[in-house]
């Protein structure tokens, strides 16, 4: 059984009765929507055509929101409805990033995610969803696509029905008859010209729309205009940027530091760190940064008191759940190293190699797993870029070597060790620069056009100045110059600090640009 809708746009009159009925039936908060009507217009006065498109959750067969949820709060029911258990949801907003249709919202009162659930409480009583009942033109047709005799199956057979974003691979179960192409494909329309009855909210999406409008006008690609739509705001911000940044530091400090310390035999660090032998500084620093990572991860949840649900009922398909366990394992290994160091025991031989390699493996996975998590965020195509795991590893090496270099005075590094960390930073910065500048060629398969539009926002649009000047100029070019001209001294410390600052800016641009393009 697969319940779904056929939305007949030849009948829709844009009356919003479905939206009002949905809000009343499901107590949807002011400013949030489970179903809404988007207006688009094409042509110029006096030959203007206005189209209406009803948008909502697509009850996908391969629902990415179900996959990415770390606590199994979302479930694909036996009748095909995708529903949310509000008693389990932790408010991480991952499902909202996973949805390529912008169909999930966060209820600020309850701190949990909500969406269209096909009025499951009505369906269970043999009733049709509220939106279908009130539609005055019967433009909303619910039914079972697995029943060959149902009306929706008959319409799917008789008409050339379309779905939204088939390239996302979600197999949506909301189909459209004669819908405007601009109505179901946000890349074909633009909202920069203004709305009919309301003012648009300023913010990243508006900035992106204005930039795209200028590009589209110059290239004469699109003529459609969005004249009514719901407002959207970025879901993830500084907390996620900080989480990515400190996670790179936590992984990179150990990866770089351990590679230069025993049992690998280079003995690169001399002196003491707060009264403890300097090799202890590596697990100490890594533990501090990992702690900050976990604090930011929990702080960004709308229901932080439910964080332990990730451990108690993990969804093993979700890389947010897998990543949480990776971070825990890495933290346990860092604690082990710290205890061994405080006891004055330095493991050698096979034991030393084994502990070091296991910790480095968990550190590398801690740095890289976000790439696989972001790949599950089907709504944010920039984050799905190919090769992102390698890039995150390179950024971790940048962060680790830059941090150790910046703290070289405190750690009392020998000149040889300082130069070694400088060389590692130089090589990793070059790799980071190459991977960043080649971003445009890393589009996920099948979504190249959408990916290109987001990359243009990053490279030429609202984020270009921060990306080029702060992210790459201050964070890559200047440190490379300093690393080339100096072999020791304060200039290397400055190079480390600049590299860290630039890395933070680059991660912040990546997080924010990825959410700037309208996806509905």
Domain end position, chosen among 152, 183, 201: 201
Kindly state the average pLDDT of the residues 183-201.
Answer: 87
Residue 206: inside a domain = no
pLDDT surpasses 90 at 340: no
Please report how the helices 319-342 and 349-375 are oriented relative to each other, as an axis angle in degrees rounded to 10.
150
Measuring CA to CA, which residue among 251, 271, 147, 242 is closest to residue 511?
242
At 101-141, the pLDDT tens digits run: 999 999 999 999 999 999 999 999 999 999 999 999 999 99
Pick the residue with more confidence: 84 or 220?
84
DSSP symbols for 17-61: HHHHHHHHHHTPPTT--SEEEEEEEEEETTEEEEEEEEEE----T
Alpha carbons 170 and 378: distance in angstroms, whole number: 9
Percent of the chain with pLDDT over 90: 77
Note whether 391 and 506 are same-domain residues.
Answer: yes
Q: Give the whole-angstrom CA distance, residue 469 versus residue 464.
A: 8
Q: What contacts 125, CB < 8 A, 6 or more positions away? A: none
DSSP 299-333: HT-SSGGGTTHHHHS--TT-HHHHHHHHHHHHHHH
Q: Are strands 47-56 and 35-44 parallel, antiparallel or unpaired?
A: antiparallel
Q: Are residues 474 and 400 in the same domain?
A: yes
Residue 26 has pLDDT above 90, yes or no: yes
Same structural domain for residues 148 and 244? Answer: no
Separation between Cα atoms, residue 298 and residue 132, nearest integer Å: 40
- Given 173, 201, 229, the domain boundary residue is 201
Q: Say if residue 118 is in the same domain as residue 41.
A: yes
Distance between CA 491 and CA 199 in Å, rounded? 51
pLDDT tens sequence across 226-251 = 999 998 889 999 999 999 999 999 99
Residue identified by tokens 């990179």 is: 252
Residue 288 has what pLDDT?
Answer: 96
**Has residue 220 been placed in a domain?**
no
Name the phi and psi angles at 181, rounded to 5. Answer: -60, -40
Residue with tokens 């008409």: 159
Q: Is residue 208 part of a domain?
A: no
Residue 227 lies in a domain: no
Residue range of the domain that includes 85: 3-201
Residue 139 CB neighbours (<10 A)? 24
Q: What pLDDT is attached to residue 202?
A: 83
Q: Global pTM?
A: 0.93
3-class SS string, 398-433 = HHHHHHHHHCHHHHCCCHHHHHHHHHHHHHHHHHHH
Q: Can you give the CATH number for the domain in which 378 is found?
A: 1.20.1630.10
Task: Read off the tokens for 504.
Answer: 């933070």
Length of the chain: 520
Which residues have C-beta within 8 Å of that of residue 387, sequence separation ≥ 6? 435, 442
Predicted confidence (pLDDT) per residue in 266-311, tens digit: 444 444 443 344 567 888 899 999 999 999 999 999 999 999 999 9
Alpha-carbon distance of 429 to 396, in angstroms, equals 10
Q: Identify the pLDDT of residue 18.
A: 97
Statement to judge: residues 316 and 438 lie in one domain: yes
Residue 141 is part of a domain; what is its CATH number?
Answer: 3.30.70.20
Same-domain status, 120 and 242: no
Could you give the C-alpha distances from 300 to 24, 92, 239, 288, 361, in angstroms and in order?
30, 7, 6, 19, 27
Q: pLDDT tens for residues 482-514?
A: 999 887 778 999 999 999 999 999 999 999 999
Q: What are phi and psi of 170, to 5 degrees?
A: -90, -10
Whether residue 291 sits in one domain with residue 169: no
Same domain, 266 and 393: yes
The string over 369-387, giving b where at least 16 C-beta atoms fall within 10 Å of a residue's C-beta and e elsewhere, is bbbbbbbbbbbbbbbbbee
Residue 406 lies in a domain: yes
- Among the candidates 201, 218, 252, a domain finishes at 201
Which DSSP symbol is given to 13?
Answer: -
At 300-320, the pLDDT tens digits run 999 999 999 999 999 999 999
The pLDDT of residue 200: 77
Q: Are residues 395 and 269 in the same domain?
A: yes
What integer pLDDT is reported at residue 263 of this predicted model? 42
Indicate whether 129 and 268 sit together in one domain.
no
Asked if residue 402 and residue 255 are part of one domain, the reply reads yes
Is residue 211 in a domain? Answer: no
Calpha distance 402→499 (Å, rounded): 6
First vs last Cα of the chain: how many Å apart?
27
Q: Tens of pLDDT along 37-60?
A: 999 999 888 888 999 999 999 999
Interatomic CA distance for residues 41 and 487, integer angstroms = 62
Query: Token pair of 111, please?
Result: 């701190």
Structurally, how many domains does the chain consist of? 2
Q: Establish if 509 belongs to a structural domain.
A: yes
Q: Are residue 317 and residue 465 in the same domain, yes or no?
A: yes
| pLDDT at residue 414, as a whole number | 73
Residue 341 falls inside a structural domain: yes
Q: How far apart are CA 281 and CA 195, in angstroms?
A: 57
């Amino acid at each position: 059984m697969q319940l779904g809708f056929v939305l007949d746009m030849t009948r829709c009159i844009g009356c919003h009765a479905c939206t009002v009925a949905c809000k009343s039936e499901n107590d949807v908060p002011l400013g949030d929507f489970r179903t809404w009507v988007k207006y688009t217009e094409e042509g110029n006065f006096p030959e203007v055509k206005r189209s209406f498109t009803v948008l909502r959750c697509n009850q996908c067969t391969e629902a990415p929101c179900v996959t990415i949820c770390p606590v199994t709060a979302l479930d694909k029911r036996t009748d095909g409805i995708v529903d949310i258990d509000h008693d389990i949801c932790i408010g991480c907003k991952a499902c909202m990033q996973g949805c390529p249709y912008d169909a999930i919202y966060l209820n600020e009162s309850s701190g949990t995610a909500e969406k269209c659930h096909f009025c499951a409480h009505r369906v269970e009583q043999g009733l049709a969803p509220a939106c279908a009942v009130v539609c005055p033109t019967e433009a909303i047709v619910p039914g079972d696509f697995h029943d060959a005799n149902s009306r929706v199956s008959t319409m799917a057979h008789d008409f050339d029905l379309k779905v939204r974003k088939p390239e996302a691979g979600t197999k949506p179960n909301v189909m459209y008859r004669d819908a405007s192409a601009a109505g179901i494909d946000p890349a074909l329309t633009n909202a920069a010209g203004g709305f009919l009855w309301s003012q648009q909210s300023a913010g990243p999406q508006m900035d992106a729309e204005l930039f795209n409008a200028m590009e589209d006008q110059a290239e004469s690609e699109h003529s459609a205009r969005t004249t009514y739509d719901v407002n959207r705001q970025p879901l993830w911000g500084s907390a996620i940027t900080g989480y990515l940044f400190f996670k790179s530091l936590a992984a990179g400090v150990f990866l770089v530091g351990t590679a230069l310390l025993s049992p690998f035999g280079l003995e690169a660090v001399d002196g003491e760190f707060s009264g403890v032998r300097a090799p202890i500084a590596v697990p100490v620093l890594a533990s501090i940064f990992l702690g900050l990572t976990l604090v930011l991860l929990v702080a960004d949840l709308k229901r932080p008191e439910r964080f332990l649900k990730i451990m108690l009922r993990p969804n093993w398909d979700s890389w947010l759940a897998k990543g949480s366990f990776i971070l825990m394992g890495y933290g346990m290994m860092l604690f082990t190293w710290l205890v061994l160091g405080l006891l004055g025991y330095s493991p050698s031989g096979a034991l030393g190699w084994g502990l070091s390699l296991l910790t480095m493996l968990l550190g590398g996975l801690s740095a890289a797993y976000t790439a696989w998590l972001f790949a599950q965020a089907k709504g944010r195509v920039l984050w799905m870029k190919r090769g992102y795991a390698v890039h995150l590893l390179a950024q971790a090496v940048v962060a680790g070597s830059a941090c150790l270099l910046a703290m070289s005075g405190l750690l009392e590094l020998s000149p040889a060790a300082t130069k070694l960390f400088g060389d590692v930073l130089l090589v990793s910065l070059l790799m980071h620069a190459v991977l960043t500048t080649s971003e445009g060629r890393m589009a996920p398969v099948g979504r190249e056009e959408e990916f290109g539009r987001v990359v243009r926002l990053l490279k030429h649009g609202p984020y270009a100045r921060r990306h080029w000047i702060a992210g790459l100029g201050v964070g890559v070019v200047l440190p490379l110059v300093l690393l080339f001209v100096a072999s020791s001294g304060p200039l290397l410390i400055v190079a480390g600090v600049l590299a860290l600052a630039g890395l933070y800016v680059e991660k912040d641009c990546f997080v924010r640009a990825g959410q700037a393009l309208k996806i509905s």
